[in-house]
């Protein structure tokens, strides 16, 4: 996966609109809100629901919010952080 990331991210977004994303542990649970973040951030949780991933990918295909970015998606959990 690391090699794919290097090749894709080297492409200018003007010629190839790319978005790379990693997911947490996949769960077979109903859709919930997704947190799009970066690995190592305070918002990164360990899991994501499969239905949530599918919805996020479809939404991103229309909105193009994360073009040219490599991110991590996980379930959004609104818990206070220590």
Structural contact between residues 24 and 43, judged by C-beta atoms closer than 8 angstroms: no
Structural domain includes residue 7:
no
What's the predicted TM-score (pTM) here? 0.78
pLDDT in tens, 46-82: 999 999 999 999 999 999 999 999 999 999 987 655 5
DSSP class of residue 10 equals T
* pLDDT of amino acid 40: 78
Q: Which of 54, 56, 51 is nearest to 28 (CA)?
A: 51
Q: Is residue 3 part of a domain?
A: no
- Number of domains comprising the chain: 1
Confidence of residue 22 (pLDDT cuts 50, 70, 90): very high
Segment 11-38 mean pLDDT: 91
Average pLDDT of the residues of the chain = 87
Quote the pLDDT of residue 66: 94
Smallest CA-to-CA distance from 26 within 74, 79, 77, 76 is with: 74
State the residue range of the domain holding 25.
19-75
Residue 82 counted as domain residue: no
Q: For residue 65, is it within any domain?
A: yes
Residue 46: inside a domain: yes
Report the distance separating Cα 25 and Cα 75, nearest Å: 10
Tokens 């073009």 correspond to: 67
Does the residue 81 lie in any domain? no
């Amino acid at each position: 996966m690391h090699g794919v990331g290097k090749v894709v991210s080297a492409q200018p977004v003007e010629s190839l609109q790319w978005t790379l994303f990693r997911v947490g542990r996949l769960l077979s649970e109903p859709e919930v809100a997704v947190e799009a973040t970066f690995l190592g951030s305070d918002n990164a949780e360990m899991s994501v629901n499969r239905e949530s991933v599918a919805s996020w990918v479809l939404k991103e295909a229309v909105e193009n919010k994360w073009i040219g970015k490599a991110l991590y998606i996980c379930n959004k959990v609104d818990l206070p952080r220590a």
